[in-house]
């Protein structure tokens, strides 16, 4: 029982800093030296209490990443999966975010912040490739990228 109490205190300390997925929390507890059984019991207790919620975590993390230009679409899916969120929750969260955030508007806003003054029609091929690959690495579709770049240059 002492180990479980210590593990719970450690988990709450982690959650005080920022929200985590259940898989991330389990990994942190085991790395800290708590047994997998204890980690599972603590995860269950935190889940029942509402301190751990993968859907809430996934939505908050993905919305922040989207708002800050760190990802969109497939990139968010990969990152959430890497953080241990199950595919059903990821799909639900991305569907919800897709209805709240338009890809073109998000991309145009990021373009204005990150590449202010970039003129598609005046740029050489190397500059175009650099800008296009920047957005592709973040999960935006090539069609949306080209459309925003051309519209920004007009």
Distance CA 83, CA 18 (A): 14
In sequence order, the 6+-apart residues with CB closer than 8 A to the CB of 138 are 69, 70, 71, 72, 75
Separation between Cα atoms, residue 154 and residue 145, nearest integer Å: 15
Judgement on whether residues 9 and 42 belong to the same structural domain of the protein? yes
Exposure of 124 by Cβ count < 10 A (0-12 exposed, 13-18 middle, 19+ buried)?
Answer: exposed
Q: Do residue 10 and residue 35 come from a single domain? A: yes
Report whether 121 contacts 151 (CB < 8 A).
no
Looking at the structure, tell me whether residues 86 and 119 fall in a common domain: no
Q: Is the pLDDT of residue 154 over 70?
A: no
The total number of structural domains that make up the chain = 3
Same domain for 44 and 60? no
Do residue 90 and residue 115 come from a single domain?
Answer: no
Q: Which of 66, 83, 100 is the last residue of a domain?
A: 100
| pTM score, whole prediction | 0.82
Same domain, 44 and 58: no
Above 80 in pLDDT, residue 130?
yes
What's residue 1's pLDDT? Answer: 63
Per-residue pLDDT at 117: 83
* Structural domain of 96: 54-100
pLDDT digits (tens, 9 = 90+) for 3-29: 999 999 999 999 999 999 999 999 999
Residues 58 and 31 in one domain: no
Q: pLDDT digits over 39-85, tens only? A: 999 999 999 999 999 999 999 999 999 888 888 888 999 999 999 99
- What CATH number corresponds to the domain at position 45? 1.10.10
């Amino acid at each position: 029982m002492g180990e479980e109490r210590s593990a719970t205190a450690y988990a709450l300390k982690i959650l005080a800093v920022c929200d985590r997925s259940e898989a991330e929390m389990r990994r942190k507890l085991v790395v800290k030296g708590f047994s997998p059984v204890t980690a599972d019991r603590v995860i269950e207790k935190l889940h029942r209490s509402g301190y751990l919620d993968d859907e809430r975590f996934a939505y908050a993390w993905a919305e922040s990443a989207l708002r800050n230009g760190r990802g969109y679409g497939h990139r968010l899916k990969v990152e959430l999966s890497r953080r241990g969120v199950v595919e059903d929750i990821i799909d639900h969260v991305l569907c919800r975010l897709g209805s709240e955030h338009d890809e073109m508007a998000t991309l145009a806003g990021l373009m204005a912040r990150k590449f202010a003054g970039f003129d598609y029609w005046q740029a050489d091929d190397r500059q175009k490739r650099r800008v296009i690959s920047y957005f592709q690495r973040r999960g935006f579709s090539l069609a949306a990228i080209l459309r925003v770049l051309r519209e920004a240059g007009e």
